[in-house]
């Protein structure tokens, strides 16, 4: 049996969890074993039923009187208990905040290893994985041993694919034995997102600024262009480290991963940590004085020149066409 | 209060990465080293907490002798003490790393030093294992909050926030606790010249950690490789302001602007 952790909200499995389910099903089909899921929270039964399309045969819906909010150690304990009860050969989650955290707890509780952000899994006599290092700019081939293998699947690395033959999911409640210690850390409050703001992660257009912008004041030019394109401003790590812009605007390994239709990268050289944050963009337009900047090799389009001249000219051209 | 911050020495990579001949590591012959970004912020957070609450801060790393540089960098911004768990420079997997840190903390406790707060980075920039802080917390019986971008300590209670779906999840635990932070929790200060000079003179306590027993404990690295890249040809739209109409044409063509 292979066990997959599925995150859900209001009865809908998260998209990235379905990536993990897709990856887990391929392993289950190859090994000829059933695929089971574990889910938490209100709406879990509804989300579980929807997993039949992805080949899940049975789902454990965790229910506990004291488990009313996200509690990482308690979720980890629940997964660890399901492992002891059902002896899966592999436990899979998506490499989201919660996926990494819950599997790390389960692995530690089971005294088993865990491999984070895998992009390929090769079960066999020597169980090998290919996993991301440096946020995905480097790959590591590694062996994973132990009575049970726990691994997370890197987000956005698997195309969603439904099962050839959908299954009917047998949904059953599961009540773990939780100690006080398992429940010490839990979400005590949630702060809702700011209304009406274009979020960097979801923006269709991102106008990015790097060292070449030169200072905090000069970002007005990028903001103007972003506003004209109904997009968001993103920045490189140099910019947030210098305090020119807040960290919430950082694109990269230690910031936000973006996936816009176009990323307009202004004065950005393209350190690998920045590239892993923007490589999901459908197209990159580089505005840079340096033809040899590393980011050029990722670009679909380029303008050679000073961003302080080029960016205002683009804004002016957009306005001119809108006025005519 | 007493704060311990655990950091990792990592290479300062730029635009391109090359591997060693055996493909086991990044070729660092022409690279500098730094503290992994999340942990640089963890060190800054430790200094701020001690400035606000009084007490003492200690920085710990598992790494080669050269990692003394990163310990001194932490002391240069105000960390009081440094402990080096000295290795021969080989990577330790996350299970072995956590075990060595736990042993060091237990040795400190036996010598009468206890910590109210253990700070980690959420994941190391290089290996990205996402688990060392959690393993240490479980082994020591402490609560752990991960992914933290805002931390307040009041009357022995830690209130921490992490980003969730554009908003925030708020966690609260009594100390002692483990907190794994993310870059953005603060803006680390630059070390002052007197700070650097002070750090240079400070002693680094060295411990040789017990090497992991034979056999695998965590993911065991076989080799590294660079991901396959489809390098397309870049279309140069022009030079300077004169390129603006061509840029707008592209924005129209891909459907961002209407014609």
Q: Which of B16, B128, B171 sits opposite A294 (nearest CB)?
A: B16
Provide the residue ranges of all domains of chain A, joining segments of one domain with +: 2-183, 205-323
Based on DSSP, count helices (H) and strands (E) in chain B, helices before strands. Answer: 6, 14
Fold for B2-207, please state it.
Rossmann fold (3.40.50)
Q: List, for chain B, all residue ranges whose pLDDT scores fall below the cut of 70.
A: 214-216, 230-231
A270 CB near a chain B CB, below 8 Å? yes
Q: What is the pTM of this model?
A: 0.94
Interior angle at CA A14, CA A8 and CA A20, nearest 5: 110
Q: Is the peptide bond before A293 cis (omega within 30 degrees of 0)?
A: no
Distance CA A129, CA A115 (A): 8
Interchain contact, A192 vs B167, CB within 8 Å: yes
E strands, A95-204, where?
A: 114-122, 128-133, 138-143, 149-153, 170-174, 187-191
CB contact under 8 A, B256 and A316: no
Which residues of chain B lie closer than 8 angstroms to A255, CB-CB?
183-184
Shortest Cα distance, chain A CAs vs residue B35, angstroms: 13
What are the structure tokens assigned to A58, written together?
């049975």
pLDDT tens series, chain A, 324 aa: 999 999 999 999 999 999 999 999 999 999 999 999 999 999 999 999 999 999 999 999 999 999 999 999 999 999 999 999 999 999 999 999 999 999 999 999 999 999 999 999 999 888 999 999 999 999 999 999 988 999 999 998 899 999 999 999 999 999 999 999 999 999 999 999 887 777 898 899 999 999 999 999 999 999 999 999 999 999 999 999 999 999 999 999 999 999 999 999 999 999 999 999 999 999 999 999 999 999 999 999 999 999 999 999 999 999 999 998
Q: How far is CA B3 from CA A302, B37, B153, B179, B195, in A?
A: 48, 19, 12, 11, 19
Q: How far apart are CA B61 and CA B71, in angstroms?
A: 7
B171 contacts A187? CB cut-off 8 A: yes
The whole-number pLDDT of residue B214 equals 65
| Tens of pLDDT, residues B110-122 | 999 999 999 999 9
Contacts of B90 (CB under 8 A, 6+ apart): none
Rg of chain A (C-alpha set): 23
φ, ψ of residue B11 in degrees (nearest 5): -70, 150
Strands (E), A225-278: 232-235, 262-266
Q: What residues of A are in contact with residue B141 (Cβ under 8 Å)? A: 181
Residue of B nearest to A191 (CA): B168
Q: Look at B138 and A107 and tell me if their CB atoms are within 8 Å.
A: no
Distance separating alpha carbons of residues A257 and B227, to the nearest angstrom: 18
Interface test with B, best of A301, A302, A304, A320 (most B CBs within 10 A): A301
Minimum-distance CB partner of B234 among A131, A146, A301: A301
Chain B (30-59) residues lying within 8 Å, Cβ to Cβ, of chain A: 37-38
For residue B7, the surrounding DSSP H or E stretch is strand B2-7
How many C-alpha atoms does A130 have within 13 Å on its Cβ side? 12
CATH class, range A205-323: alpha beta
Q: Could you tell me which residues come within 8 angstroms of residue B172 by beta carbon, excluding any fewer than 6 positions away?
A: A188, B157, B158, B159, B160
Query: In this structure, what DSSP letter does residue A7 have?
Result: -
For residue A156, what pLDDT is reported? Answer: 87
CB of A151 within 8 A of CB of A115?
yes
Please state which CATH number belongs to domain A2-183: 3.40.50.620
> From A274, which residue of chain B is nearest by alpha-carbon distance?
B15
Give the list of residues 6+ apart from residue A146 with CB closer than 8 angstroms, or none: A112, A113, B216
Query: In degrees rounded to 5, what are phi and psi of residue A56?
Result: -80, 130
Helix (H) or strand (E) holding B163: strand B157-164
CB-CB neighbors (< 8 A) of A134 in chain B: 13, 17, 125-126, 128
Please name which of A143, A164, A179, A169 lies closest in space to residue A64, comparing C-alpha atoms. A179
Identify the residue among B130, B140, B147, B168 best suited for mutation to test binding to A, counting A beta carbons within 10 A and taking the highest. Answer: B130
**Domains A2-183 and A205-323 belong to one CATH topology:** yes
Dist. CA B27–CA B227, nearest whole Å? 16
Which secondary-structure segment (H or E) carries A18? Answer: helix A15-31
Q: By the CB < 8 Å criterion, does B23 face chain A?
A: no
DSSP tag of A251: B
Q: Which residue of B has its CA nearest to A297?
A: B231
Best residue of B97, B186, B230, B243 to probe chain A, by most A CBs closer than 10 Å:
B243
Return the residue of A nearest to B131 by Cα: A104
ipTM: 0.95
Task: List CB contacts (< 8 A) between A293 and chain B.
Answer: 15
Residues in A touching B224 (Cβ below 8 Å) = 133, 138-141
Mutate to test the interface with A, among B37, B235, B256 (most CBs of A within 10 A): B256
- Residue B19, burial from CB neighbour count under 10 angstroms (0-12, 13-18, 19+): middle
CA distance A116 to chain B (A): 6
Rounded CA-CA distance A214/A143 in Å is 45
Q: Note the pLDDT of residue B216.
A: 65
| Integer angstrom CA distances of residue B226 from A236, A323, B16, B134, B229 | 22, 48, 10, 29, 9
Q: Is A304 in CB contact (< 8 Å) with chain B?
A: yes
A237, A254 Cβ separation under 8 angstroms: yes
């Amino acid at each position: 049996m292979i066990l997959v952790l599925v995150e859900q909200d209001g009865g809908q499995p998260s998209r990235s969890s379905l990536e993990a389910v897709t990856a887990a099903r391929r392993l289950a089909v190859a090994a000829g074993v059933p695929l089971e899921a574990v889910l938490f929270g209100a709406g879990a039964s509804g989300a579980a039923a929807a997993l039949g399309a992805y080949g899940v045969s049975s789902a454990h819906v965790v229910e506990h009187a004291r488990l009313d909010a996200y509690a990482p150690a308690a979720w980890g304990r629940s997964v660890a208990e399901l492992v002891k009860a059902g002896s899966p050969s592999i436990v899979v989650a998506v490499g989201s905040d919660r996926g990494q955290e819950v599997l790390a707890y389960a692995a530690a509780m089971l005294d088993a290893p865990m491999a984070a952000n895998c992009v390929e899994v090769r079960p066999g006599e020597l169980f090998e994985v290919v996993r991301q290092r440096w946020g995905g700019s480097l790959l590591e081939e590694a062996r994973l041993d132990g009575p049970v293998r726990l691994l997370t699947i890197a987000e956005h690395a698997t195309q969603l694919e439904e099962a050839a033959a959908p299954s009917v999911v047998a949904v059953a409640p599961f009540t773990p034995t939780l100690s006080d210690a398992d429940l010490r850390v839990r979400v005590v409050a949630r702060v809702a997102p700011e209304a009406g703001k274009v979020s960097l992660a979801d923006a269709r257009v991102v106008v990015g600024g790097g060292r070449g912008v030169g200072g905090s004041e000069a970002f007005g030019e990028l903001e103007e262009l972003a506003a004209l394109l109904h997009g968001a401003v993103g920045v490189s790590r140099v910019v947030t480290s210098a305090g020119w812009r807040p960290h919430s605007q950082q694109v990269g390994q230690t910031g936000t991963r973006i996936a816009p239709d176009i990323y307009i990268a202004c004065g950005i050289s393209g350190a690998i940590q920045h590239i892993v944050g923007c490589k999901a963009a459908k197209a990159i337009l580089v505005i840079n004085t340096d033809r040899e900047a590393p980011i050029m090799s990722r670009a679909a389009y380029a303008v050679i020149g000073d961003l302080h001249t080029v960016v205002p000219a683009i804004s002016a051209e957009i306005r001119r066409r809108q006025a005519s | 209060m007493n704060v311990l911050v655990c950091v990792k020495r990592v290479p300062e990579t730029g635009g391109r990465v090359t591997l060693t001949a055996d493909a086991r590591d990044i070729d660092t012959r022409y690279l500098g080293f730094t503290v992994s970004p999340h942990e640089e912020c963890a060190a800054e957070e430790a200094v701020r907490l001690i400035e606000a609450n009084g007490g003492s801060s200690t920085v710990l790393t598992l790494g080669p002798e050269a990692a003394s540089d990163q310990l001194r960098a932490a002391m240069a911004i105000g960390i009081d003490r440094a402990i080096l768990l000295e290795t021969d420079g080989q990577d330790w997997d996350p299970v072995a790393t956590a075990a060595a840190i736990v042993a060091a903390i237990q040795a400190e406790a036996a010598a009468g030093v206890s910590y109210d707060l253990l700070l980690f980075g959420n994941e190391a920039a290089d290996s990205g294992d996402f688990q060392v802080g959690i393993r240490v917390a479980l082994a020591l019986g402490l609560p752990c909050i991960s992914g933290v971008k805002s931390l307040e300590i009041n009357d022995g209670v830690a209130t921490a926030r992490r980003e969730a779906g554009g908003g925030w999840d708020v966690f609260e635990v009594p100390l002692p606790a483990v907190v794994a932070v993310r870059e953005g929790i603060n803006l680390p200060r630059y070390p002052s010249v007197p700070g650097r000079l002070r750090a240079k003179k400070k002693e680094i306590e060295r411990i040789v950690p017990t090497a992991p027993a034979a056999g695998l404990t965590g993911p065991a690295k076989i080799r590294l490789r660079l991901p396959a890249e489809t390098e397309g040809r870049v279309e140069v739209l022009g030079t300077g302001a004169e390129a603006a109409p061509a840029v707008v044409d592209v924005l129209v063509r891909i459907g961002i602007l209407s014609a």
